[in-house]
């Protein structure tokens, strides 16, 4: 389930950490309930089957007892004291040889009688019992198979003679019992399995339902990450509000801190650059001799460039791991170009766009404006008539935020291949600049670096001027 997928990006996990990722909550719950359910249903099955067996044996004992009583009731002693066995057995199975239901009568004077079913079979394991004694034995292994038997000892009164001691035994092989309980077990297993499946399905449904808030948090979080939402703003159950409130507070404080930082930088810029502006204007207006003026103005220029560059660098927020807003590019590009068209009105530059629908920059709006603003201004400055801005999204499965390909082309003189290196290498030190490409390009490079991107400079295939391309990877 996806409950675990959105959260790890918070901690920026690496791949080998993902291998050791613990089971998802759903898997844990499914596993444990599955095991518990199996053990539980197994125990129920076992108990029921045991109980059934016991009652079957009980019933068997009763039945065998009944047969014995019927035989006893149907037995009459002859005059000579030998018993006369009944003609009709209590159950037709007694007359079918090998039917599995046998009756044997033993007398203590060597009398032996068997039902037709038992003819020719060995019942040597039976022993006579004292009158009144009874026993139920089984299952025992005999050559007839496993069987249960019930024996009852009686004393048959014969007139004028001593009573005849007889032991009535009725035996039944286990087969019938077994087939009965096999049927029972089958249906028991069938029902229990059905029950088990139903319970597991129910359990999974319950689990889904109870994990819904977590999934909601995960999807809200990913909306925040994609910049579609400012906060985790759904209603969450009480157990989660502690977590979600903290995350919201964290998002707020991160934003607040960025705003404060930006304001501080703006103040700093103002308070550093205004004195420089004063010095420059005073010196330029003064009557100072050139040997004094030139070095002062030169130092002012150096300081200005350093301050501007370092402040811009500090203002670069860079890639954010969390809660970046998705800054739509088209609108800002439009604003920038309108501004530049106003400023460069005299040049009459035609700026065209090719911006993919919905292309967005995941980061600070200020960074995007600096990036595009500096590249576009550069193009406006050098172009004869045409500037082209191309923006494309780069999707990558598994990365919630798309990457960007942004290029700005112009029909100006372009940059010679051997100068490209020089232009790109500068920016390590803010005060070494190639004439014409001001501090703007250093700022662009810093931003690109802060977003782990890449800046390339080549010749525009369409306009034959310079082409600056920025590739920002998906995150």
Partner 1 sequence: MRILLVEDEAPLRETLAARLKRDGFAVDTAQDGEEGIYLGREVPFDLAIIDLGLPKMSGMDLVKALREAGQRYPILILTARGSWQDKVEGLKHGADDYLVKPFHVEELLARINALVRRASGWSKPVLACGPIKLDTTAQTVTVEGKAVDLTSYEYKVLEYLMLHAGELVSKADLTEHIYQQDFDRDSNVLEVFIGRLRRKLDPEGSLKPIETVRGRGYRFAIPRSEDE
- Of 210 and 339, the one with the shorter C-beta distance to partner 1 is 339
Residue with tokens 């309108």: 338
| 3-class SS string, the chain | CHHHCCHHHHHCCCHHHHHCCCCCHHHHHHHHHHHHHHHHHHHHHHHHHHHHHHHHHHHHHHHHHHHHHHHHHHCEECCCCCEECCCCCCCHHHHCCCCCEEEEEEECCCCEEECHHHCCCCCCCCCCCCCCCEEEEEEEEECCEEEEEEEEEEEECCCCCCCEEEEEEEEEEHHHHHHHHHHHHHHHHHHHHHHHHHHHHHHHHHHHHHHHHHHHHHHHHHHHHHCCCCCCCCCCCHHHHHHHHHHHHHHHHHHHHHHHHHHHHHHHHHHHHHHHHHHHHHHHHCCCCHHHHHHHHHHHHHHHHHHHHHHHHHHCCCCCCCCCCEEEHHHHHHHHHHHHHHHCHHHCCEEEEEECCCCEEECCHHHHHHHHHHHHHHHHHHCCCEEEEEEEEECCCCCCCCEEEEEEEECCCCCCHHHHHHHHHCCCCCCCCCCCCCHHHHHHHHHHHHCCCEEEEEECCCCCCEEEEEEECCC
Rank residues 242 and 275 by Cβ distance to partner 1 and give the closer one: 275
Q: In whole angstroms, how close is the CB of 278 to partner 1 at the nearest point?
A: 5
User: In the complex, what is the shortest distance from the CB of residue 12 to partner 1, in angstroms, rounded to a whole number?
Assistant: 29
The least CB distance from residue 273 to partner 1, in Å, is: 4
For strands 326-328 and 350-355, give the pairing. unpaired
- Residue with smaller CB distance to partner 1, 226 or 273: 273
Return the number of the residue (178 or 304) whose C-beta is nearest partner 1: 304
To partner 1, the closest distance from the beta carbon of 7 in angstroms equals 33
**CA–CA dist 434, 421 (Å, integer):** 11
Task: Name the minimum Å distance from CB 450 to partner 1.
Answer: 15
Q: How many CA atoms lie within 13 A of 49 on its CB side?
A: 19
Pick between residue 365 and residue 425 the one whose CB is nearest to partner 1.
365
In the complex, minimum distance from the CB of residue 419 to partner 1, in angstroms, rounded to a whole number = 25
Q: How far is the CB of 334 from partner 1 (least distance, A)?
A: 10
Cα dist from 206 to 31, 193, 210, 217, 218, whole Å: 14, 20, 6, 18, 19
Closest by CA to 206, choosing from 335, 30, 48, 364, is 30
Please report how close the Cβ of residue 296 comes to partner 1 at its closest, in angstroms.
12
Which lies closer to partner 1 via its Cβ, residue 370 or residue 411? 370
Q: In angstroms, what is the minimal distance from the CB of 6 to partner 1?
A: 31
| Peptide bond preceding 139 in cis form (omega within 30 of 0) | yes
Q: Which is nearer to partner 1, 194 or 338 (CB)?
A: 338
Nearer CB in complex with partner 1: 263/456? 263
CB of 327 to partner 1, least distance (A): 12
Instruction: Give least dist CB 355 to partner 1, A.
Output: 17
Q: Residue 32 or residue 281: which is nearer to partner 1 going by CB?
A: 281
In the complex with partner 1, which residue's Cβ is closer, 91 or 446? 446
Residues that bind partner 1 (CB under 8 A): 265-266, 269-270, 272-274, 276-282, 284-285, 300, 304, 308, 311-312, 315, 332, 335-336, 338-339, 342-343, 345-346, 348, 365-366, 369-370, 372-374
Complex with partner 1: residue 212 or 281, whichever CB lies closer: 281
């Amino acid at each position: 389930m996806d409950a675990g997928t959105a959260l790890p990006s918070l901690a920026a996990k690496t791949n080998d950490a993902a291998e050791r990722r613990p089971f998802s909550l759903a898997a844990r719950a499914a596993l444990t309930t599955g095991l518990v359910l199996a053990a539980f249903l197994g125990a129920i099955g076992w108990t029921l089957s045991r109980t059934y067996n016991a009652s079957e044996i009980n019933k068997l004992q009763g039945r065998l007892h009944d047969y014995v009583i019927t035989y006893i009731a149907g037995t009459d002693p002859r005059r000579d004291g030998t018993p006369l066995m009944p003609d009709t057995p209590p159950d037709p199975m007694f007359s079918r040889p090998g039917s599995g239901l046998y009756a044997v009568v033993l007398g203590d004077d060597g009398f032996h009688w068997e039902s037709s079913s038992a003819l020719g079979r060995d019942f040597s394991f039976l022993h006579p019992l004292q009158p009144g004694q009874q026993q139920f034995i089984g299952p025992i292994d005999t050559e007839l198979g496993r069987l249960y038997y019930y024996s009852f000892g009686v004393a048959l009164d014969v007139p004028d003679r001593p009573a005849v001691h007889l032991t009535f035994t009725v035996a039944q092989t286990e087969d019938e019992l077994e087939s009965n309980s096999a049927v029972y077990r089958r249906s028991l297993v069938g029902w229990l399995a059905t029950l088990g499946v139903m319970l597991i399905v129910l359990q999974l449904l319950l689990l889904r339902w109870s994990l819904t808030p977590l999934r909601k948090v995960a999807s809200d979080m990913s909306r925040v990450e994609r910049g579609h939402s400012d906060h985790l703003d759904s209603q969450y159950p009480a157990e989660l509000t502690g977590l979600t409130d903290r995350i919201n507070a964290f998002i707020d404080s991160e934003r607040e801190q960025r705003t404060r930082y930006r304001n501080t930088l703006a103040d700093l810029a103002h308070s550093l650059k205004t004195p420089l502006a004063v010095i420059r204007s005073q010196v330029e207006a003064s009557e100072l001799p050139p040997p004094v003026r030139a070095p002062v103005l030169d130092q002012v220029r150096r300081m200005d460039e350093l301050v501007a560059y370092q402040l811009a660098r500090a203002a670069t927020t860079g890639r954010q791991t969390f809660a970046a807003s998705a800054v739509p590019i088209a609108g800002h590009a439009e604003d920038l170009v309108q501004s530049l068209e106003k400023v460069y009105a005299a040049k009459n530059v035609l700026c065209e766009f090719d911006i993919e629908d919905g292309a967005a920059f995941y980061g600070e709006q200020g960074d995007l404006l600096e990036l595009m603003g500096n590249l576009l201004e550069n193009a406006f400055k050098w172009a004869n008539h045409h500037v082209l801005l191309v923006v494309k999204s780069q999707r990558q499965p598994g990365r919630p935020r798309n990457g960007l390909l942004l290029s700005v082309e112009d029909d100006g003189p372009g940059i010679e291949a051997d100068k490209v290196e020089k232009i790109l290498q500068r920016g390590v030190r803010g005060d070494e600049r190639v004439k014409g490409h001001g501090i703007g390009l250093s700022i662009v490079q810093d931003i690109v670096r802060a977003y782990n991107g890449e800046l390339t400079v080549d010749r525009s295939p369409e306009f034959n001027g310079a082409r600056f391309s920025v590739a920002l990877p998906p995150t």
